[in-house]
Structure 1
Amino acid sequence: MDEYMEGHSGEDEKTVVQLKTCPSCQTPIRRNQRYVNIIKGTLSDIEKAKLKVSRNGRRVKELEQLIFSMQSRFQGSDRGVVKRLTTGSLVPSEGRLSAQVNQLRIMERVVRLEKLVRSDAAKYSPDLYDQVLRAIHTFKEWLVIPRSCFGQQERQDSDDEMKRLSMSRFLITASQLVDSAGKGTSADMNMRLQDIIRRLASSEKHESVLPDAKLLVEEVKGHVSESKTGACDEERVVFLEATGLKQGHWYKCKEGHVYAIGECVRPYEEVTCPECGGSIGEAAQSLTEDNAFAPEMYDDEDLPWSEESDHELALKLDKELNG
């Protein structure tokens, strides 16, 4: 009996926490002076397991709510794509749901980049961006593959692919503008642009081509206005994370230079744009006529405030205060 109480009674007991049962009637052994310490230890393990399950349950619910919120931000065909990821038949677990959150966050960045590519394709030539768009489609299909975890290797691969696609878009657009920049651009730069664009589109390893592409991106910025090419998506993400500013803070002057307004997010004074010298902001919490909201910074569709919303808020506050 001592050997039975102190050892494993079956294969499943290595992973299942439970009290020993009587070999004859299968009643759980809860009281026995001889084995009191063993019983106490098992009961303690059971309580720890219950606590862990309870915590995991709360975490799973939090992740499910976050995924639902993130999924609702996708529009059109993209919503159908992410639905394939979030409505699988696999049993939800903390690891699997955490993987979905990581995948959806990357998908949001891919969708933003795709919008930039399609906008540039409409301005210049769709054929120039066809390969980038096909690569984005392949990347999105890879992102929505259900996974039990989304580890460091997957995150690194995703980050490298985002850099490759973002710099491809940036350099293709720059190649259309560099000739008309009039700042001493040369045939050599055009050749290097075409070479890096070709390498980014090839099967060359990321670690080989990305450093060269990044150097060229920095050089191109000295010849072509970033308000025309748009910042690389990776740079924008890093900048937004560094500033901590959210939706509604971002505006642009008449030349397309982006600036931010903190605190109440509404303009309260007129100053000069450091890039072009034009007027930005305005008094009385309204924009100058040639300034505009910058939805591309966070893919906002509308202004974060309006006269109508201000009026509705005032009525709501008055009702709460005065009944």
Structure 2
Amino acid sequence: MIEKTHPTCDHPILTKCCEQPDRNKCNKSCPLKLPCGHPCKNRCNKPCTKKCKAIVDYTKPTACGHKFKVNCYLLEKDLPSHSYELLKFCMEPCNTELPCKHVCLGTCGKCAQGRIHQACQERCETRLICGHECRLLCHETCQPCSQLCSYKCRHNMCKRQCGEPCIKCIRTCLRKCEHTECTARCWEICTVPPCSEPCQKELDCGHPCMGFCGDPCPLLCSICNMQEVLKIFPSFEGKRNVRFVLLRECNHIVESQEMEEWLKQVKEIKYKSCPKCDVPLMSTHRYSDYIKRNLTDVKEIKKQFFGHNKENEARQRELFNRLYNTRSNATTLLTYASNMDNVFGFLRKDLQSTRRERGWQQALNNCAGQMHAAKINILEIMVDMFARAKLKHPRTIKEAVKHIDLLCYLLMLKQGQGISNREMVDFKNELKRLQRIIQFYQIEDFLEYHSRYSELPRIQEIREVLPNLLFGPGNYTDKLDNTLKEKLTKLTGDVPAMEIMDTKEVEIIQIIGMGKTHWYKCLKQHYYGTNNLVQAIQCSKCSPPRTNSTFRIRPNEISSINGINQPVPTNSYVSYLRYINNLKVPISAKFRVRRQ
């Protein structure tokens, strides 16, 4: 064996004396240059790369209007200016103000030109139901509080985490004076109200105390500190029966009647707080009954957040079945959408890892189950939309699937992460855009087999304008939807058996956490949560709103070549609260309409 130099690469190759050097045996870097002028990155024994990955400036106009660098091979492809294969390279800072009031730290490319923004990486700092601030990142769903509990009775202090149920103090209640005595245990609601008799003690100045019997004395004197008293209670002069209470948590002094009214008027379930500084009341014993009732309510809400083992196990099985069935129905789609199979894979992996590593209850509490269900719900809707479109021509199928593949790519970025309500709204808007895209390619599919229509000047003109509107940057708005409907209607004016209808509202699960939600209890002791204060007066278990035009819209049908039914009125409030309160009503992703 001797070394011989191959004439193509000039590398020495060990070979037999009687044989010519074989380049397939050369394992060194290829010295050749590609047609674009950049060096080949493969080994000598491999064919030269067909896609040059060198970074070069992209000089053609783009839909986002920014300048950026791309892989060299993209210059040779005739990509439209709105192609995400191109626009994902844009590194221009997004800087959009998100609904949480934080500035988006993503880039134009990573945020898909403003369609679906990256998860907010700022601190949440939302006030939890316990009064503490959430310490998670803003995009994460608020979890039960992990700080030390601040509740304390006259005997001891709770040493558990705030998100866990407090230890019940079984000692005798210390609400006792010469006028009244409680016979309940410390953790139970008192059998007698707090004493309303005036305190008989004297202050250091020698004047009578302004507080109640059995309470800590407020450090204000109605004679020595009149000006300060008037600031607290302006109409104090001339009233002898006015009593004041010292709040242990913040040392603010409040007038007793006003404080009682303040405590009673707050119907939302949260720890009662000081009306001046909003500090939660946890140790002012005069209001211990309010505190104990709130602790009980918060405990029940936490149970609702975590769920029960059997329900969690059933939900886990249901999600696996939904994921399996959706993939089985996506056989044709998986041929074209390269990212979709990866999404199915990571969702299955996420479900399996949470079950194996963290246990049923923590992995699939109600909130976690909703987040998994929301991602699967998006896949179900896309698969069903594509199946109902019944596209036939390979070109139209390939083009229609590009937007589905983009949404799958954006879902892949959520691997191992939660998904916020703001992101769900973005995906919901993009699914509405997908309906119009499929309508457009249904028309294109028809024209592929009826070329005589495609030669009409009006059709050619509109076909050139529509892609830029459909795939343009920015959020999908109602205004844009109306514009697209008008253009699509004009496009079908000369085409028989074609009808463009309004897009249907797509129902997506709303994620309920422990922070950004308002919790209430109805007269029948049902707990329900909402992110909308306007809806706070309704409990779906007791009195769901019903009107003659109320329908439950499960992800709706898109228009087809042969036309569809007329759009129906939609009201997602019923289904939303029913899901939160019952959690036995699955959010199906089948395209059907069912009357409530």
Q: TM-score range by the shorter chain?
A: 0.5 to 0.7
Alpha-carbon shift at residue 223 of structure 1 (Å): 3.2
Equivalent position to 1:82, from 333, 344, 361: 344
Alpha-carbon shift at residue 140 of structure 1 (Å): 1.7
> What does residue 319 of structure 2 align with?
67
Equivalent position to 1:53, from 303, 307, 317: 303
CA deviations on 1:249-283 (whole Å, 9 max, x unpaired) are: xxxxxxx95899xxxxxxxxxxxxxxxxxxxxxxx
Q: Contact 2:429–2:475 at 8 Å: present in 1 too?
A: no
> What does residue 30 of structure 1 align with?
170
Corresponding residue SS for 2:495: coil
Equivalent position to 1:160, from 429, 439, 446: 429
Distance 1:96 1:243 in 2: 24
Whichever residue aligns with residue 87 of structure 1, its letter is K
Whichever residue aligns with residue 193 of structure 1, its letter is R
Task: Report how many residues are paired.
Answer: 235
CA deviations on 1:176-228 (whole Å, 9 max, x unpaired) are: 646959899951342123201233123254226432112222334443345xx
Corresponding residue SS for 1:6: coil
- What does 1:105-254 align with in structure 2 at a 5 Å threshold? 105-115=377-387, 119-122=391-394, 126=395, 130-143=398-411, 145-146=414-415, 147-151=417-421, 153-175=422-444, 177=446, 180=450, 186-207=456-477, 209-226=480-497, 234=503
Matched, 1:39 2:308: no
Q: Contact 2:170–2:186 at 8 Å: present in 1 too?
A: no
Corresponding residue SS for 2:364: coil
Q: Contact 1:63–1:98 at 8 Å: present in 2 too?
A: no
Q: Which has the higher helix share?
A: 1
Q: Contact 2:485–2:501 at 8 Å: present in 1 too?
A: no
TM-score of the pair, normalised by structure 1: 0.53
Q: Contact 1:167–1:232 at 8 Å: present in 2 too?
A: no
Distance 1:182 1:174 in 2: 13
Distance 1:232 1:69 in 2: 33
Whichever residue aligns with residue 379 of structure 2, its letter is M
TM-score of the pair, normalised by structure 2: 0.32
Q: Contact 1:71–1:82 at 8 Å: present in 2 too?
A: yes
Distance 1:233 1:51 in 2: 40
Alpha-carbon shift at residue 71 of structure 1 (Å): 1.4
Alpha-carbon shift at residue 167 of structure 1 (Å): 1.9
Change (3 A) 1:209 1:46: closer
Q: Which shows bigger deviation, 205-214 or 188-197?
A: 205-214
What percentage of aligned pairs have identical amino acids?
10
Instruction: Determine which structure has more spread, i.e. the larger CA radius of gyration.
Output: 2
Change (3 A) 1:218 1:188: closer
CA deviations on 1:147-183 (whole Å, 9 max, x unpaired) are: 43441x3333223212323322322442464695989
> What does residue 251 of structure 2 align with?
none
Corresponding residue SS for 1:190: helix
> What does residue 18 of structure 1 align with?
166
Alpha-carbon shift at residue 110 of structure 1 (Å): 1.0
Whichever residue aligns with residue 168 of structure 1, its letter is I
Corresponding residue SS for 2:166: coil
Q: Contact 2:322–2:376 at 8 Å: present in 1 too?
A: yes
Q: Which shows bigger deviation, 176-185 or 8-17?
A: 176-185
Equivalent position to 1:100, from 348, 365, 372: 372
Change (3 A) 1:230 1:188: closer
Change (3 A) 1:149 1:163: closer
Whichever residue aligns with residue 202 of structure 1, its letter is G
Alpha-carbon shift at residue 83 of structure 1 (Å): 4.1
Distance 2:296 2:153 in 1: 16
Corresponding residue SS for 1:120: coil
